[in-house]
Amino acid sequence: MTTPNSEQKIVYTLTDEAPMLATGSLLPIVRSFTAAAGIKVETSNISVASRILAGFADRLTDEQKQEATDTLVELGELTKDPSCNLIKLPNISASIPQLKAAITELQSQGYDLPDYPDEATTDEEKDIQSRYAKVLGSAVNPVLRQGNSDRRAPPAVKAFARKFPHSMGKWSKASQSHADYMRDGDFFSSEQSITMDAADDVRIEFVDKSGNVEVKKTLPLEAGEVFDSMFMSAKALDTFFERTLQECKEDGVMWSLHVKATMMKVSHPIVFGHAVRVFYREVFDKYGDLFEQLGVNPNNGMASVYDKIKTLPQSQQEEIEEAIHACYEHRPEMAMVDSVKGITNLHIPSDVIVDASMPAMIRNSGKMWGRDGKTKDTKAVMPESTYARIYQEMINFCKTNGAFDPTTMGTVPNVGLMAMKAEEYGSHDKTFEMTQDGTMRVVKSDGTVLMQHEVENGDIWRACQTKDPAVRDWVKLAVTRSRQSDTPAIFWLDDERAHDQQLRLKVEKYLQDHDTDGLDLSIMDYNSAIRISMERMIRGKDTISVTGNVLRDYLTDLFPIMELGTSAKMLSIVPMLNGGGMYETGAGGSAPKHVQQVQEENHLRWDSLGEFLALAVSLEEMGIKNDNADAKLMAKALDAATGKLLENNKSPSRKVGELDNRGSHFYLAMYWAQYLAEQTENADLAKRFVPLAKALTENEEKIIKELADAQGKPADLGGYYHPDMAKVDSVMRPSKTLNDILASL
Amino acid sequence: MTTPNSEQKIVYTLTDEAPMLATGSLLPIVRSFTAAAGIKVETSNISVASRILAGFADRLTDEQKQEATDTLVELGELTKDPSCNLIKLPNISASIPQLKAAITELQSQGYDLPDYPDEATTDEEKDIQSRYAKVLGSAVNPVLRQGNSDRRAPPAVKAFARKFPHSMGKWSKASQSHADYMRDGDFFSSEQSITMDAADDVRIEFVDKSGNVEVKKTLPLEAGEVFDSMFMSAKALDTFFERTLQECKEDGVMWSLHVKATMMKVSHPIVFGHAVRVFYREVFDKYGDLFEQLGVNPNNGMASVYDKIKTLPQSQQEEIEEAIHACYEHRPEMAMVDSVKGITNLHIPSDVIVDASMPAMIRNSGKMWGRDGKTKDTKAVMPESTYARIYQEMINFCKTNGAFDPTTMGTVPNVGLMAMKAEEYGSHDKTFEMTQDGTMRVVKSDGTVLMQHEVENGDIWRACQTKDPAVRDWVKLAVTRSRQSDTPAIFWLDDERAHDQQLRLKVEKYLQDHDTDGLDLSIMDYNSAIRISMERMIRGKDTISVTGNVLRDYLTDLFPIMELGTSAKMLSIVPMLNGGGMYETGAGGSAPKHVQQVQEENHLRWDSLGEFLALAVSLEEMGIKNDNADAKLMAKALDAATGKLLENNKSPSRKVGELDNRGSHFYLAMYWAQYLAEQTENADLAKRFVPLAKALTENEEKIIKELADAQGKPADLGGYYHPDMAKVDSVMRPSKTLNDILASL
């Protein structure tokens, strides 16, 4: 028996759009169950609307102010609490248009918010803009992800994929597809790395040819911190692009570009811009000056050209468009993002994100879509060789061994270095595009030069930090996961990389802090690591990949997409540095289309699978930490219920009238209750759930009918960004029978 | 100073054809030099003619009997002597037509030899046939190769290739070429292996479906001996061939077959026959019975069909030829051995020998020759997966990294398991083609079943032996070579192979007998081993491959052809089990065309490079064993001279009037003498060689003229198989000036 314990608390985030609506249906069910294990489930609203209101509490009425707590700050504090147990649903990373729409909606609901000032001139405007800025973009993850990353395929999901495999395109041994990357002049070949002996404020400096020194940035580094610098040669990059285009033309394969402009926010858009300028060389040669006047930015893709030339006279627009089309004549065919709409690979930098596009290509027989809507063999161009090589290794593997078989393959979970903003390459504030020739260097406060590179105009130089406690925790997490899952773990560290040499020293040191007896732990370069993981995988064996931050990002799409057909079904856990845990759900985004369908025909297609899975590990962890056997059993039962739900195909349909999110929740509840009622480990808990299981089972038909009857007509949520929670409750819980049964528990 | 020592003796083999002629020129030079180090060079005649005469000594005159010593038996004894130092030149592995020609020639020279009886019926005929049988085929190597194999690129040759690289075809990243092999049903997947606890006579038995037992063979096995058994499913093989043909047709790549019918003498011709029957399925379906009557054997290739149907009426021949051509219509294009003559890949089993054909394909951009005389991307079909996978690994590597670069690449020497007929898969007397369904089993004398396989009619079952002392010596040789060359060594052993699991146990055990401190020794599966060797190689690093017998054979062509453009320039050493050494020269065969050219225009194009290299290691070993510093210095000087000869392009030309074998020997002598005269390590030796160096240098022009003047007219050797040695001496030493200088030493 479990004594109710005030410490046993799960925090469940209320977010935006579909996930938030789904919570309206799921949470009452969850609470009914967890209460039996003495666990409270509290909510924390981190929606865009909530975060806006928190920024302007001073302008709200007393009643409105109750909604205006800064929950993100609270959650940030919570992550430092060893008892933190947080379930994080997908939320909106707001763009400016989304922010403005949210403001308008809140204003219409009677909140006295200022408009968003596009240009801030007065002090007041600047203040307003800075308050809104905190809500923009990916504002939540950096606050909450206070730990490294543990991602894996839940057993129920893996079992489902084995039984009902997703489609995998057949691979021809004669496929011409391949990955291509720079062999010299890229970040890999220029990387330098040092570990700080002691804390210091280091300067990033540019020294021009006359010896003038410009301090680009000063960074406080900690003792033990690893600091890297590297650059990509603009000339080498252009030469590389030209070679790839020539080769595609000769070999008759399609050309495609794969970058990660969203993650390498600063460096990769520049790389993308080079590709645009090389592919459309004649256009930029001829209209370069005009484009500059118009404000065309090739880093934003050809969309920027088409957008900016709209202001020109029709005849001139047509002339430029003809020049663009002329390029296609002598260039190889380019892979399309949308062949129907004519959107090419070079249209927008965010369209072809390597970690999504490469697995899609590999799953699709190594082919991408051509202009004629047909799939074709492709050269996948990924200039930065550091990580690109793993895709070539997988392509060669598929040519040799055929497509992966989801019914027999093992799994490759990931332990990723992420804590304390580790290895954020090419992001943010430490990436610089050179505007003249000279020297970039990293200098200690006493003037000692730690690293330096000779650079040329146009080169992309960047630095990157990795803090010691993050590495130490990552090593610990790898050992823990290897032990807990009885699975070999490979640290992906390449001795030819300066950074990895530094990390290897730390890994070898920190491994000594742990009992690794009987564990199969090894350190390998990326090619060897992915190769052996794949060799094991096709023999049904599992291998943990222990990787840096970028590979974490890439691999947690690559392997799941092969194994499960999607990365959205992965468990994504952030064991916090201080001992708590965050359980992230569903990588599928917040899905605006889902909400529209609810508003129009009251059908919610959102699949809460991610929430089921996250909740199970959250409960399991709660059970382990508090020695709460009921919680552990509850977790086990939930996993079994999820497995049964998948097997019985009780996931939401996309079509109105069929089972939707709410019906899916009903089945989860029924299976969950049935398992708990039937299990023999804990008779008291079984006894408690027998009536619920019975009631749900007996009323299955009735409840499903009530849920189905609710569909087919518009639903009023009282708002998009800031809905009326009472209305949400009413829409998301339309079955009186189900509600009554839950209330009776 | 060296004291002449009767023990310091090199035995130099007199063989056949071009190498024997070259010896006539080279040996007098060599003897002049080695005498200065107190080393005698004796000859031993193992030519076909000599071996024939030895078999019929009883029919010869007393004078003739002097030529009739059984030198092969003597040399066989010598291999057991720890002081054995044997230089072995290529000799004729006589076919029956060659044997008959040699008999005729000897008869014409007055030797009372009987004719070779094609069919032996009387006791006398049987006796004659059995005496001649000892001369047939590869009769020399089994007697002399009483050790494992040590093959490596001599430094001079490697340096030459780095400076004057051979051509290497560029690889396209989009190449469609690949290797294809069976994934199931082949020898690899069925392999079983045991190690004998104690000596025993084991039986190989076939048990038919009614339980009748047929003893196929009884073998005396030693304690510690590894014994393997495996089979290839005929059905799986045919299905595999059909799949490869379909895939080539779909993908538009050429189809080619690569087997090793010469080494896997029994199993691979059968595999080849299956390919013929599947490719020309309709022909064999329709004319199968007729072919059987005619004695067509598909294992001998389509040549057998064309040969046997000659007896048929013209119209019927044409009908069959049309049926053959009809197959080409719906089959993929087949790679040609000789596109001019229309010789396909399936014409004769010995035409496409995997260890030669695959390196040639890889060196040629992964392409083979099509019917139109153009090179094309190809599926290289190698049914047995055990070793085929290494070629796919190399092909993928070349697609990814481009062709190998001879100017920068490292080297992969080989230490091969070969002693005591180790791992002679598919050869000789332990391979059986099933004629009905049943069980093949290996049974101890007490009736215990050691291994067994369920087999079907047509399946190919084979067994293989590996003796313990051979493995022990192989491990020792690997450690020795790694230590002497300060190079990492990888044992290529695949844990997924039953045989290799047994070998691994021995390797791990015998490594403990040695001081391996500071050595980099590892054990890897074949794919990992070749991959890491290639990764190191393109970074200029060397890696010793320590392999079994088949991989020895394959790799000592594969890597040399990439590194040096040929395998003929490799050092090939057999360190004998008992401590002696054999130094084999030139893999280029004995070359009948070379002799014809001498007879017609007195130009010998034979390149004695192999002899130079072998002699240098022979002298070095002599120096080490006898603590003979002069011999060591002589060896060093010879290597330097060889390097200089290569650099100065003093190798023989193929064209009459230009420098030939004899001129090349002159330059070797001059450079060798110059080095010895100029070195300062040993003043006495220098003093001794100063006059020779001076004389040769001063007379260079005169000697070269004398050598050139001898060319251009027919030369009389007094015989082909059994030339007159006085005439050979006269032909091969036409420069009086050179002869006088050597005589004066």
Residue extents of the structural domains in chain A: 9-146+582-744
How far apart, in whole angstroms, are the C-alpha atoms of residue A291 and residue A298?
9
Q: Select the residue of B247, B252, B531 nearest A173 (Cβ to Cβ).
A: B247
How far apart, in whole angstroms, are the C-alpha atoms of residue B531 and residue B545?
12
B696-702 contacts at long range (C-beta below 8 A, 24 or more positions apart): B696/B666, B696/B669, B696/B670, B696/B738, B696/B741, B697/B670, B699/B737, B699/B738, B699/B741, B700/B666, B700/B670, B702/B737
pLDDT at B364: 96
For the residues of B114-182, what is the DSSP string, one character each? PPPPSS--SHHHHHHHHHHHTTSBS-SHHHH--B-EEEE--HHHHHHHHHSPPP-PPPPTT---EEE--
Nearest CA in chain B to A177: B174
Per-residue pLDDT of B333-369, as tens digits, reads 999 988 888 899 999 887 888 988 999 999 999 999 9
Q: With contact defined as beta carbons under 8 Å apart, do B610 and B156 qualify?
A: no
Instruction: Return the residue matching tokens 């379930």.
Output: A87
Which chain B residues touch A379 with a CB distance below 8 Å? Answer: 173-174
Element (H, E) at A169: none
* Chain B CB within 8 Å of residue A172 CB: yes
pLDDT at A4: 40
Nearest CA in chain B to A391: B400
pLDDT at B588: 56
The alpha carbon of residue A6 and the mean position of all alpha carbons in its chain are separated, in whole angstroms, by 33
Tokens of A41: 């489930």
Q: Which residue ranges of B are tagged as binding site for D-threo-isocitrate?
A: 151, 552
Which chain B residues touch A532 with a CB distance below 8 Å? Answer: 528
* Chain A CB within 8 Å of residue B379 CB: yes
Q: With contact defined as beta carbons under 8 Å apart, do A263 and A427 qualify?
A: yes
Which chain A residues touch B527 with a CB distance below 8 Å? Answer: 535
Closest CA to B256 of B237, B241, B235: B241
Show Cβ contacts of residue A387 under 8 Å, excluding neighbours closer than 6 positions. Answer: A526, A550, A551, A554
pLDDT band at A139 (very low <50, low <70, confident <90, very high): confident
How far apart, in whole angstroms, are the C-alpha atoms of residue A119 and residue A125?
8
pLDDT band at A48 (very low <50, low <70, confident <90, very high): very high
Measured CA angle at A625 (ends A619, A629), to 5 deg? 60
How far apart, in whole angstroms, are the C-alpha atoms of residue B157 and residue B639?
9
Element (H, E) at A682: none
CB atoms within 10 A of CB B238: 17
Question: Number of A:B CB contacts under 8 A?
Answer: 58
Closest CA to B87 of B156, B35, B20: B20
For the residues of B220-260, what is the DSSP string, one character each? EE-TT-EEEEEEE-HHHHHHHHHHHHHHHHHHT-EEEE-B-
CA distance B250 to chain A (A): 9
Show Cβ contacts of residue A252 under 8 Å, excluding neighbours closer than 6 positions. Answer: A176, A332, B174
Closest CA to A395 of A364, A418, A421: A364
Contact between A399 and B531 using a beta-carbon 8 Å cutoff: no
Ramachandran angles phi, psi of B151, nearest 5°: -120, 135
Show Cβ contacts of residue B273 under 8 Å, excluding neighbours closer than 6 positions. Answer: B297, B298, B299, B300
Q: Where are the beta strands (DSSP E) in B332-488?
A: 336-338, 343-344, 367-369, 375-381, 414-416, 431-433, 438-443, 449-455, 460-466
- Letter for the amino acid at B683? A
Taken in order A551, A554, A559, A564, is the CA torsion positive or negative?
positive
Show Cβ contacts of residue B632 under 8 Å, excluding neighbours closer than 6 positions. Answer: B619, B620, B623, B624
* Chain A CB within 8 Å of residue B251 CB: yes
Strand partners, B334: B255
Show Cβ contacts of residue B124 under 8 Å, excluding neighbours closer than 6 positions. Answer: none
- Three-class SS state of B3: coil
Evaluate if residue A591 carries a pLDDT over 80. no
* Chain A CB within 8 Å of residue B522 CB: no
Tokens of B284: 């064999």
Q: Select the residue of A172, A250, A253 nearest B251 (Cβ to Cβ).
A: A172
* Chain A CB within 8 Å of residue B396 CB: yes
Per-residue pLDDT of A649-663, as tens digits, reads 999 999 999 999 999
pLDDT at A644: 95
Average pLDDT, chain A: 94
Taken in order B657, B658, B663, B667, is the CA torsion positive or negative?
positive
Closest CA to A191 of A234, A233, A237, A229: A229
* Chain A CB within 8 Å of residue B405 CB: no
Global ipTM:
0.89
Nearest CA in chain A to B389: A400
Choice among A196-200, A336-340, B696-700 with the minimum mean pLDDT: A336-340
Higher pLDDT, A143 or A537: A537
CA distance A363 to chain B (A): 19
CB atoms within 10 A of CB A662: 31
Averaged over A22-43, what is the pLDDT? 95
Low-confidence ranges of chain B (pLDDT < 50): 1-5
Averaged over A570-597, what is the pLDDT? 86
- Three-class SS state of A178: strand
pLDDT at B5: 42
Contact between A178 and B531 using a beta-carbon 8 Å cutoff: no
Contact between B172 and A531 using a beta-carbon 8 Å cutoff: no
Taken in order B275, B281, B283, B289, is the CA torsion positive or negative?
positive
CA distance A494 to chain B (A): 13
Count CA atoms within 13 Å of residue B357 on its CB side. 26
How far apart, in whole angstroms, are the C-alpha atoms of residue A222 and residue A201?
9
Evaluate if residue A24 carries a pLDDT over 80. yes
Strand partners, B414: B151, B545
Evaluate if residue A493 carries a pLDDT over 90. yes
Which chain A residues touch B251 with a CB distance below 8 Å? Answer: 172-174
Q: Where are the beta strands (DSSP E) in A34-186?
A: 40-45, 85-88, 149-152, 178-180
Averaged over A159-187, what is the pLDDT? 96
* Chain B CB within 8 Å of residue A239 CB: no
pLDDT at A587: 58
Averaged over A247-272, what is the pLDDT? 90
Measured CA angle at B436 (ends B432, B440), to 5 deg? 50
pLDDT at A1: 35
pLDDT at A589: 57
Calculate what percentage of chain A has a pLDDT beyond 70. Answer: 98
Element (H, E) at A718: none
Highest-scoring range by mean pLDDT, A4-18, A130-144, A691-705: A691-705
pLDDT at A351: 80
Per-residue pLDDT of A344-359, as tens digits, reads 999 988 788 898 899 9
* Chain A CB within 8 Å of residue B531 CB: yes
Tokens of A25: 């249906």
Averaged over A171-189, what is the pLDDT? 97
Residues comprising chain A, all counted: 745
Closest CA to A212 of A439, A454, A460, A431: A439
